[in-house]
């Protein structure tokens, strides 16, 4: 995963009317002490908050603090997972749009 993945995800969420913030910090890409990044997303329509969870696992499943070791994002409400594929691939772009759209259901 790269920062570009996070930026694309953030942009897609904003385009669909979500507000993105870090659940535990003023910094958007903050790594918490449990080796996970948490985003809180809300929409003006209903103010429902959803937590997006980005676990960070390094080599051999070891804990990591390096953002490149994020392989997927899970939403807290239904457990839907978005896997990070090659950033320029059609599969990534399509999966990203579908996953963000599924958050509104």
Q: What would the pLDDT profile of 27-86 be if each residue is shown by its tens digit?
A: 656 666 578 888 889 987 777 789 999 988 877 767 777 778 889 999 999 999 999 999
| pLDDT grade for 87, boundaries at 50, 70 and 90 | very high
Q: In this predicted structure, what is the pLDDT of residue 66?
A: 77
Q: CB neighbours (10 Å) of residue 99? A: 17
Give the CA angle between residues 83, 105, 81 to the nearest 5°: 15
Token digits of residue 32: 């918490």
pTM of the model as a whole: 0.85
Distance CA 90, CA 102 (A): 18
């Amino acid at each position: 995963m790269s920062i570009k993945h996070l930026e694309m995800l953030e942009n897609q969420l904003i385009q669909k009317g979500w507000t993105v913030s870090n659940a535990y910090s003023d910094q958007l890409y903050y790594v918490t002490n449990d080796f996970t990044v948490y985003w809180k997303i809300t929409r003006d329509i209903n103010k429902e908050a959803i937590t997006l969870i980005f676990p960070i696992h390094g080599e051999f499943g070891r804990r990591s603090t390096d953002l490149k070791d994020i392989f997927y994002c899970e939403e807290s409400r239904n457990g839907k997972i978005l896997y990070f594929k090659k950033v320029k691939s059609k599969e990534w772009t399509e999966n990203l749009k579908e996953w963000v759209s599924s958050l509104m259901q």
